[in-house]
Amino acid sequence: MKNGAVRAHGASRKKIALRFFSKHRPPPAMKCCEGGVRTKFLGKSYMILDAFIHQINNQVLEMDCIFCKIAAGVIPCFKIYEDENTLAFLDVAPCADGHTLIIPKKHSDAFVEMSPEESGRLFEAVNIVSNQIMDKMENITGLTIGMNTYETAGQTVMHTHVHIFPRFKGDGGGTTHSIVHSAKSSDPEHLKKISEKLTK
Q: List residues near ligand 5GP by CB under 6 A.
A: 66, 75, 77, 89-93, 101, 148, 154-157
Q: How far is the CB of 27 from ligand 5GP (least distance, A)?
A: 30
DSSP 111: G
Among residues 48, 68, 110, 122, the one that binds Zn ion under rule CB under 5 A: 68
Burial classification of residue 99, based on how many CB atoms lie within 10 Å of its CB (0-12 exposed, 13-18 middle, 19 or more buried): middle
Q: Does 65 bind Zn ion (CB under 5 A)?
A: yes
Choices 88-96, 101-109, 112-120, 132-140; region in contact with Zn ion by CB under 5 A: 101-109
Q: In what order do the strands lie in the sheet with 36-41?
A: 29-33, 36-41, 44-49
Smallest distance from the beta carbon of 93 to ligand 5GP, in angstroms? 4
For residues 101 and 85, give the distance between their C-alpha atoms in angstroms, rounded to a whole number. Answer: 14
Q: Let me know if 161 is a catalytic residue.
A: yes
The span from the first CA to the last CA of the chain, in angstroms, equals 20
The amino acid sitting at 73 is: G
Contact letters (x/-) for Zn ion, 20-59, by CB under 5 A? ----------------------------------------
Q: What is the spatial distance between Cα 38 and Cα 31, in angstroms, rounded to a whole number?
A: 5
Catalytic residue from among 107, 161, 163, 181: 161
| Residue number of the CB atom closest to ligand 5GP | 92
Residues recognised as catalytic:
161
